[in-house]
């Protein structure tokens, strides 16, 4: 980082993932000192306005976290344990998941408490809309009592609670953004995207049916990762108004899984010129969770009013771009045909 004390210093933890890459891209366009930390190298725009420092580190190793956040005015915490194709399917006895999803937040609080900065740094944490547990009806507005149903959500909830307690103590200014279901639009490397939209696009390109673990009426709030990244930047700009609470970040729009999968199939058909693959119902897989059968749609109004942020990426346009990106990547990486 630069030693220019007049510039805000921001650290992104978990910067090499899909959301971290998008957050880095947004922050790189600001006149700040930016340190991005990930297990892999993080992609940074070539013409960055920010003074960018890129680090690779395993933050669970002793002293690595302290080195990563030294001198930070703000920390964006995006680190999550990835088990298989998705981050949220975590078993109760997965010690690594608990260490990463929860232990690192406790470590961060301890590190910042020990550093005793003159002004408590801002910490913006990536939560999940499903932390609420079983929605009681309609759109989730953030006033509901939380009763997380999965191990992943319980870990997220405990991490959020730790940040709220540290905020009350004056160690930091913690903000949790509970995010809707993320999707990308082909802006970044396809290999980074493990979400349901990308997964279904890959199946559609391969000509495989898109399978639902229910009748397709389950509804989700779907948020473009670029809009989510902009929300983190907005949270930094309105930290004092947001600190000490969790905020819901989504579109407020309900999309059924059947409609989503059908749109993915149509988008891939347009990208490849092939007929759209069928969308069918199947028995839930062994790794399915109770939350797979629940509707999760958010009311982002409080966050919008507090920050001026708003989701701006239409799902239909993003699906078209994703289909093109997935098809292009698949064609470029297809094994070369061999002849006898």
Q: Give the pLDDT score at 66.
A: 97
Task: Please give the CATH superfamily to which domain 9-184+222-249 belongs.
Answer: NAD(P)-binding Rossmann-like Domain (3.40.50.720)
Q: Give the pLDDT score at 132.
A: 95
Which pTM value belongs to this model? Answer: 0.93
Domain ranges of the chain: 9-184+222-249, 190-219+254-296+313-331
What span, in angstroms and rounded, lies between the C-alpha atoms of 126 and 136?
23
63 class by beta-carbon count within 10 Å (0-12 exposed, 13-18 middle, 19+ buried): exposed
Q: Give the pLDDT score at 337.
A: 53
* Two domains, one topology: 9-184+222-249 and 190-219+254-296+313-331: no
What span, in angstroms and rounded, lies between the C-alpha atoms of 30 and 33?
9
CA angle (211, 217, 223) in 5-degree steps: 85
Cross-strand bridge partners of residue 223: 182
Q: Give the CATH number of domain 190-219+254-296+313-331; options: 3.90.25.10, 3.60.70.12, 2.40.50.100, 3.40.50.300.
A: 3.90.25.10
Question: What stretches in the chain show pLDDT beneath 50?
Answer: 2-3, 84-88, 338-340
Which tokens belong to 101?
């999803």
Largest CA distance in the chain: 71
Tell me which residue of 241, 220, 196, 245 sits closest to 298, measured CA to CA.
220
What span, in angstroms and rounded, lies between the C-alpha atoms of 284 and 72?
45
Question: How many other β-carbons are positioned within 10 Å of the β-carbon of residue 91?
Answer: 11
């Amino acid at each position: 980082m630069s030693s220019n004390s007049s510039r805000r210093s921001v650290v992104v933890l978990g910067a090499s993932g899909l959301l971290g890459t998008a957050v880095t891209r947004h922050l790189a366009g600001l006149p700040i000192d930016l340190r991005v930390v990930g297990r892999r190298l993080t992609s940074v725009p070539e013409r960055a306005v920010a003074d960018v420092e890129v680090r690779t580190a395993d933050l669970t190793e002793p002293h690595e976290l302290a080195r990563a956040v030294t001198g930070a005015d703000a920390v964006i915490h995006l680190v999550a344990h990835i088990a298989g194709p998705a981050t949220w399917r975590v078993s109760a006895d997965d010690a690594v998941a608990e260490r990463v999803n929860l232990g690192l937040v406790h470590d961060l609080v301890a590190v910042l408490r020990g550093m005793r900065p003159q002004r408590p740094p801002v910490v913006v944490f990536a939560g999940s809309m499903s932390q609420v547990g079983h929605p009681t009806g309609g759109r989730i507005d953030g006033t509901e009592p939380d009763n997380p149903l999965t191990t992943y959500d319980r870990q997220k909830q405990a991490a959020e609670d730790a940040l709220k307690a540290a905020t009350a103590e004056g160690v930091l200014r913690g903000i949790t953004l509970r995010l809707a279901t993320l999707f990308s639009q082909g802006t970044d490397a396809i290999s980074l995207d493990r979400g349901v939209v990308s997964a279904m696009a890959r199946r559609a390109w391969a000509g495989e049916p898109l399978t639902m673990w229910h009748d397709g009426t389950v509804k989700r709030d779907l948020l473009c990762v670029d809009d989510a990244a902009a929300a983190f930047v907005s949270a930094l700009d309105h930290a004092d108004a947001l600190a000490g609470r969790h905020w819901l970040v989504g579109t407020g729009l309900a999309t059924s899984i059947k409609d989503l999968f059908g749109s993915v199939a149509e988008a891939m058909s347009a990208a490849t010129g092939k007929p759209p693959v069928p969308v069918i119902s199947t028995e839930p897989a062994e790794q399915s969770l109770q939350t797979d059968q629940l509707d999760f749609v958010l009311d982002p109004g409080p966050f919008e009013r507090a920050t001026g942020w708003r989701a701006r990426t239409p799902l239909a346009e993003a699906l078209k771009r994703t289909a093109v990106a997935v098809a292009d990547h698949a064609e470029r990486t297809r094994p070369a045909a061999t002849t006898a």
